[in-house]
Amino acid sequence: MKIEILGYWGGYPKDGGATTGYLITTDEGKILLDCGSGVLSKLSTKTKVEELSGVILTHLHYDHMSDIGVLQYAAFGALRNKRMIDKIKVYAPNEPKNFWDFIQNENVDSIPITEESHIQIAGAEIEFLSVKHTIPCYAVKISYKGQVFVFSADTEYIDSLIDFARGADLFFCEATICEGSVHTVGKGHMDAEQAATIAKNAGVKTLVLTHLPHDGNFGLMKETASSIFEGTVYMAFENESYILSK
């Protein structure tokens, strides 16, 4: 299983970058996890829309789903030109209702997710955890051939995320809040210390801090996380990838 970072900024992209989006590739297909601002242009350098096995949106905030409409245009072109036979399945919370209605489109199949949802895409088993954000939002666990990748999505610190991420090989955890940063008001988010505490208590192997603030002190954030979590800590950056294999 390969995890590629397409975008990692929180809120809005910086310097030609993109907000949240990750491409997960297995031996059996490709999954797009979140589709924020600028993600589709980054995706086009890695794959084609018709090669996607499915799309997951952790929640319906613009920095995680604003490019879904553009992806629908690409899907329409692929269907019209017969590069794609079946519509792409897009899994997302069905709240807030106005945003759920907004992403409905004849060129994709929209499927609501809940904490009880358990789905298969590209041969991977996918589970969800309801986290504490400002709207319904779900952390995602992707398991494939004995390897486990967990993404916290956007959330305040919650103990349930420890059990959800328990023993993960790779844990992408949001760290939107940073001392001295004015990028966010902080509601519904965590800092590097909290992310590292979850990673430590969950016993994950590798921690990647993501959903980063534009004015964050990344050196301080990494240092803070490393002082708590004994495993390897990385900061998310575009075009970086992580390969999980036995």
Average pLDDT, the chain: 97
Owner of token pair 């001295």: 180
pLDDT score for 129 = 98
Res. 165 pLDDT band, cuts 50 70 90: very high
What is the Cα–Cα distance from 219 to 58, expressed in whole angstroms? Answer: 28
Give the chain's domains with CATH numbers. 2-243 (3.60.15.10)
pLDDT value at 103 more than 90:
yes
What is the Cα–Cα distance from 157 to 169, expressed in whole angstroms? Answer: 20
The DSSP code sequence of 164-190 is HTTT-SEEEEE--B-TT--S---TT--
pLDDT score for 246 = 75
What is the Cα–Cα distance from 208 to 222, expressed in whole angstroms? Answer: 9
pLDDT score for 186 = 82
Res. 238 pLDDT band, cuts 50 70 90: very high
Average pLDDT over residues 225-236: 98
pLDDT value at 166 more than 80:
yes
Q: What is the pLDDT of residues 134-147, one digit of tens each?
A: 999 999 999 999 99
Residue 113: partners with Cβ closer than 8 Å, 6 or more residues away: 56, 91, 92, 93, 119, 128, 138
pLDDT score for 185 = 83
pLDDT score for 112 = 98
Q: What is the pLDDT of residues 57-90, one digit of tens each?
A: 999 999 999 999 999 999 999 999 999 999 999 9
Has this prediction a pTM greater than 0.95?
A: yes
Q: What is the pLDDT of residues 15-40, one digit of tens each?
A: 999 999 999 999 999 999 999 999 99
pLDDT value at 184 more than 90:
no
Question: Which two three-digit tokens encode residue 120?
Answer: 């298969």
Provide the 3-class DSSP secondary structure of residue 86: coil
pLDDT score for 90 = 98
* Strand pairing class (21-26; 29-33): antiparallel
pLDDT score for 153 = 98
Q: Is 87 exposed, middle or buried (0-12, 13-18, 19+ CB in 10 A)?
A: middle
